[in-house]
Structure 1
């Protein structure tokens, strides 16, 4: 079985993630290909798309959100993701059990005496009028029936797990600070969330596996689980295995992939790229060594933004008071610094900051 070294996996990941070459593609198509962008920080997807789409303009994402072709909702790993409307509807029922388990696990003691099915029914009854509500407003209308649990526990399990919700604009629009207003996905998108089909061997899971590999492969089954948060995908993997090709990484793990998916030569040049906080190019794997050193794993989990140099995380970056600051994690050559500065100046201009105020610090090296 062919062994793919770390550099080969890195270049494959960059190609799938649109980080080798910016793609000339609509926002909706990019979001679909990437299987969504993690978006609990509402402004971060704009940087993620700027680094991936040629001539990306913020208005394109704003139009997709207000036009309801892209939606903010809790999905993979119980985190807020920006996904296409089609994927939000198609994938939601497959994620229901995981969302409920993770939400209730966080408040196991607080919700011990709450019948979750009754709570879900009460929540659906409240939002049936089609009016957007904040979490506090929703809890305020059902909380009298459950006075003991903390209101936050009731609210989070309702909006993140029990009732499929969309977070409405202006939340997530460019340069906008807005609180979360929730409306059922079915109401916002004008289509019901389809139930999981009976039998037929998990067709949604099979589609998820294929879509994940197209955007993240080659990858191990543990990587698929880490990205999705779903524990029940081995059967789906087994069902599509004959469609896939297999490799091994340097640790001996089996990696699966789509036969025709791009796997560039390991020596393919990789340009400097700036990633937003919580980007799935890093977080979408169990083994993240293809893109980030073990010593720096905590940075991405903590929400620090990363700079890729030669395809790997080599620095972090911040943007405050119109100053973009890059902090290296290893020594950078003069050429690397020049490349970082050029990309940073372009990113600063995108964010309406002053490109002349880009700064590369001495870093933690």
Structure 2
């Protein structure tokens, strides 16, 4: 009989892989590599993701790596910007390229203006222009328009964004600094197979189903990959009977292991990388009224699950709980806030 993993057991396993049960004393590079990148389309919120996972983390550690080119921000999984090592960016981008090709074909804003454009020529021209200097999308579009006068500059730039592995160059994303969203073409080398990608996904997010893996990366038909890997994996079921796969030696703590409060940033992959997100997100999370449809809340985990949301304004951290928190939980949340969010210069924590 296939062993069944409860929701709490899945929660604890996932938090352990995500370094959210216990902060790890490892390097920023090792952490980002283990996580198979961190979603990072915002310039700075991902720094909190590292502060929640690493012992003694200082933002300058990651900022220096980004400035030196040891970390890059590139469009990858789900067609979103991820913080990764250059070699992982080079290995992952060809695997997820079908997502970007599909987007280019189906994007209602850009597909029509690009109709009839020689995409190979567009990619080649984009590569040549960006080899000379980093350009913003507006600058790139203006340059491309001279070669493709019948197309929209914005759509031409978007086409290059999907055709080539563009990375956002510093100072964009550096801690305490910012800059225009300028791009250059990734020049690093690296290779990764689909099988290797799935194994790394399981190491960071498992146990997981085929649909979970597909949700994480944005690809389809990964069932073929899991079929190949199945002899080397362990198989479970969740409480709904869905088949889950995992690495034999991966950590699967007891569901009774304590989970301390943790602050997630707005695009934290732990909340985005499963088709069934109930292992972290509660029904109360989905019942919240938010400013707009695609608003990405910043979640507080209590006992491993979403229990509140947080925001910082004028050096005050506000925590809004979905329900009543016990006195012990409030004290633990406040303690975690004071430790982690010191990176934001927070002077006061309030519950609203």
User: SS at 1:145's partner residue?
Assistant: coil
- Answer yes or no: is the 8 Å Cα contact 1:278–1:301 preserved in 2: no
- Deviation string 1:153-176 (CA, Å, 9 cap, x unpaired) is 2212212x1111111111111122
State the match for 1:360 in structure 2.
351
Equivalent of 1:306, from 299, 302, 312? 299
Distance in 2 between residues matched to 1:301 and 1:285, nearest whole Å: 18
1:15 aligns with 2:16: yes
1:62 aligns with 2:53: no
1:127 aligns with 2:120: no
User: SS at 1:260's partner residue?
Assistant: coil
- Residues 218-233 of structure 1: pairs in structure 2 closer than 5 A: 218-233=207-222
User: SS at 2:173's partner residue?
Assistant: coil
Distance in 1 between residues matched to 2:150 and 2:311, nearest whole Å: 42
State the match for 2:139 in structure 1.
137
1:143, distance to aligned residue in structure 2 (A): 1.1
- Residues 260-275 of structure 1: pairs in structure 2 closer than 5 A: 260-275=249-264
- Residues 1-365 of structure 1: pairs in structure 2 closer than 5 A: 1-106=2-107, 107-129=110-132, 131-159=133-161, 161-186=162-187, 191-192=188-189, 204-297=193-286, 302-354=295-347, 357-361=348-352
RMSD of the TM alignment (CA)? 1.7
**Greater Cα offset, 95-104 or 260-269:** 95-104
User: SS at 2:278's partner residue?
Assistant: coil
**Greater Cα offset, 328-337 or 149-158:** 149-158
Distance in 2 between residues matched to 1:116 and 1:248, nearest whole Å: 44
User: SS at 1:128's partner residue?
Assistant: helix
Distance in 2 between residues matched to 1:253 and 1:31, nearest whole Å: 29
Distance in 2 between residues matched to 1:253 and 1:316, nearest whole Å: 29
- For structure 1, the residue ranges without an aligned partner over 5 or more in a row are 195-202
Instruction: Note closer, same or farther for the CA distance 1:348–1:124 as it changes in structure 2 (3 Å cut).
Output: closer
- Answer yes or no: is the 8 Å Cα contact 1:209–1:224 preserved in 2: yes
Instruction: Note closer, same or farther for the CA distance 1:317–1:120 as it changes in structure 2 (3 Å cut).
Output: same
Equivalenced residues, count: 345
1:234, distance to aligned residue in structure 2 (A): 2.3
1:352, distance to aligned residue in structure 2 (A): 1.6
- Deviation string 1:39-74 (CA, Å, 9 cap, x unpaired) is 011111110000000000111101211222211000
State the match for 1:199 in structure 2.
none
- Answer yes or no: is the 8 Å Cα contact 1:273–1:343 preserved in 2: yes
User: SS at 1:49's partner residue?
Assistant: helix
1:120, distance to aligned residue in structure 2 (A): 1.2
Instruction: Note closer, same or farther for the CA distance 1:152–1:294 as it changes in structure 2 (3 Å cut).
Output: farther
- Answer yes or no: is the 8 Å Cα contact 1:48–1:279 preserved in 2: yes
Distance in 2 between residues matched to 1:88 and 1:317, nearest whole Å: 31
- Deviation string 1:115-149 (CA, Å, 9 cap, x unpaired) is 322221221222233x1111111111111233344
Distance in 1 between residues matched to 2:265 and 2:206, nearest whole Å: 21
- Deviation string 1:176-235 (CA, Å, 9 cap, x unpaired) is 22221111101xxxx3466xxxxxxxx610001100000000000000000001114222
Distance in 1 between residues matched to 2:27 and 2:222, nearest whole Å: 30
Q: With structure 1 as the length reference, what TM-score do the two structures score?
A: 0.90
